[in-house]
Structure 1
């Protein structure tokens, strides 16, 4: 599992048609040519053999710097599966039970109220009927939210505290958890699904249980064993600034031109160019395609890597099954928020979404294919039926701009002929 992205296997040997694989880059390149994506890098592997690496376009449009194999990307919410793995490593050591209330270690959540009615300024709240448990954090059923949703009065309370696309300057995870705990929950824990800061709180739980910062835990327990040398919370002091791809925002297109364009926003871009005060378990990592492929392959292999093991295969299997009550899908159990892919036919486990009904999902795919993505349009998925892993990198906010994730599945699956 080398860090480099050398294709060493003939695709036909593992059931891919090379001519059909070429369609992936051609389709993705159209978005680059149309000025809708700055550039991209995509990897496809089967049975652990890397069969396709495609890259096109620029990591820095203004300077004309191309996407390279060692380009660093802000992976945003693709940090969440790493934090979930960290938590489950502690679970395997008996540090907690999934049903434990988090107030056992984060007492500030003991008295957090639940929103019932009213406005942002005058909310009507009730006490928690059910405490937030560890599994609520892992499954996003805690009642925590994100300020950028703009869907609920509690989201506005987050924004008023400085939590929208970032967090208040200088605040660390302990302080931020105290702030989130001081605001009402969107609903009673366990009663609905809502994407939010649950995994950031989980990252703080990892810190409290391990006695290490999240960055230290990741580095010593996950990155070093996997050989992920270029993955960290923001760029480190000796990292090459030019290796980090610039971050672009989708902009409305011009009449008669592309549907959307891109603009560079220096303020958004600056966040990952140094080590942040807050090591966000929900979205703080920068990584390379080679590094993150090692992490994705760890999942595909059931928790083992070259010469070692981070998690037992049964733990991984438990993480990637649907944990929503009654095997419900996100469309039924979740809140109708932004989504890059359909929520119908999709369940959620301990840190991952998974396809539970491919026909209802509406894209050629396998039942049990599990995945997640990041705010800047990065994505990965593991298809355990076909034994395929796919990763995709670009830097375009928000991730709902283009239907990249659905196209990836249809393009990869049409190239499988055996």
Structure 2
């Protein structure tokens, strides 16, 4: 842990990070370190109680929430999503992923719940960011780092107008499938996603601070969001202060991102996965469903299609990536990373507030993971 803390302090001293919190738990024994500050303006020190933007670190929780409905019989993995989202029935499929949106064919089969869990439903980012399809995702569905102004119904109406990038189950497209999964769960559970998440996951796991927006009383604990610049004198620029976009409820809670919480909150979730679905003596998810969540479901072709979203030897389970070492987890666009290492009995979490340098991640997260892997493998 000291090596990680020292590396992060060097990043803070070099002004590459305002601050960070790292939390590692191995075989039930936790270590935490906090360096730097939450906010360059207020200079409030980082602490174990700091609230961070999780962004895509919320995807695994949305997947786990869906599995809770599978466990109680309310949902089946291979059920067509149009049963609950009739707006998305009869969707068309692009003949060429990078081609005109008007050139489409019929879908071979309906999109299923399993397709959304594995991001193989056909609606989401491809690796071609210049294509008409990706442009439509950003303009019509407001896909991107900023909160949406679109409401639920407007989002679904816009999604229904778009073709799929590939036949259901055949390819892999990032992000939007998790948003659709969250909206589907609202229909199944007849409650908003934040209420469902609280009742079925957050409260049972005692994740007391996980939420989609931060009330005024908790803003002093909320880390600002920053981005990198090319200015050596001011290497970081403020993107969103604590009292900014996330100080009020979103247009709708997004199953693909937007969750906010502490490192301890994500540890409670990760430890539950590590323990096969149990937490504090109570069963939260059945063990066989946790095993599905932690399993890579992609073909070799789909891993190649994922391109720079996934690294070499990295596939996708339900809501998160699965690596060749058997670990499961993901990163968040705000500079967060969390992984569960079942074979090694560890959950490793890094929370920063500087946006990733593109889909490939950030040098800080890469170095953090390298240190963790060296230590877990017993290498110096």
**Other-structure match for 1:36:** 16
The CA deviation string for residues 384-413 of structure 1, in whole angstroms up to 9 with x for no partner, is 111111011011113546223332232123
1:275–1:56 Cα change, 3 Å: same
Candidates 133, 139, 152, aligned match of 2:112: 133
Candidates 258, 274, 278, aligned match of 1:284: 258
**Other-structure match for 1:247:** 225
Q: Measure how far apart 1:160 and its partner are.
A: 2.6
**Other-structure match for 1:79:** 58
The CA deviation string for residues 292-318 of structure 1, in whole angstroms up to 9 with x for no partner, is 211111111111111311101111011
Candidates 86, 101, 123, aligned match of 1:144: 123
Candidates 375, 386, 390, aligned match of 2:344: 386
Q: Residues 63 and 318 of structure 2 are in contact (CA less than 8 Å); yes or no, is this contact kept in structure 1?
A: yes
The CA deviation string for residues 138-188 of structure 1, in whole angstroms up to 9 with x for no partner, is 01111111499724311111223261323542x333431222222111111
Q: Residues 92 and 164 of structure 2 are in contact (CA less than 8 Å); yes or no, is this contact kept in structure 1?
A: yes
Q: Measure how far apart 1:269 and its partner are.
A: 7.5
Question: Structure 1 regions of 5+ residues with no counterpart?
Answer: 1-20, 357-366
**Other-structure match for 1:355:** 323
RMSD: 2.4
**Other-structure match for 1:413:** 373
1:106 is aligned to 2:77 = no
**Other-structure match for 2:249:** 275
4+ residue runs over 6 A deviation: 118-121
After alignment, is 100-109 or 120-129 more displaced? 120-129
Candidates 278, 282, 295, aligned match of 1:304: 278
Secondary structure class of the residue paired with 1:66: coil
After alignment, is 123-132 or 141-150 more displaced? 141-150
CA distance in 2, matches of 1:57, 1:329: 43
TM-score (normalised: structure 1): 0.83
Alignment of 1:175-194 (within 5 A): 175-194=154-173
TM-score (normalised: structure 2): 0.91
Secondary structure class of the residue paired with 2:340: strand
Secondary structure class of the residue paired with 2:16: coil
CA distance in 2, matches of 1:379, 1:406: 10
CA distance in 1, matches of 2:248, 2:357: 23
Candidates 22, 27, 39, aligned match of 2:7: 27
Q: Residues 223 and 242 of structure 2 are in contact (CA less than 8 Å); yes or no, is this contact kept in structure 1?
A: no
1:330–1:189 Cα change, 3 Å: closer
The CA deviation string for residues 344-402 of structure 1, in whole angstroms up to 9 with x for no partner, is 1111111121112xxxxxxxxxx211111111110101111111110110111135462
Q: Measure how far apart 1:268 and its partner are.
A: 10
Q: Measure how far apart 1:195 and its partner are.
A: 0.8
1:181–1:284 Cα change, 3 Å: same
1:47–1:267 Cα change, 3 Å: closer
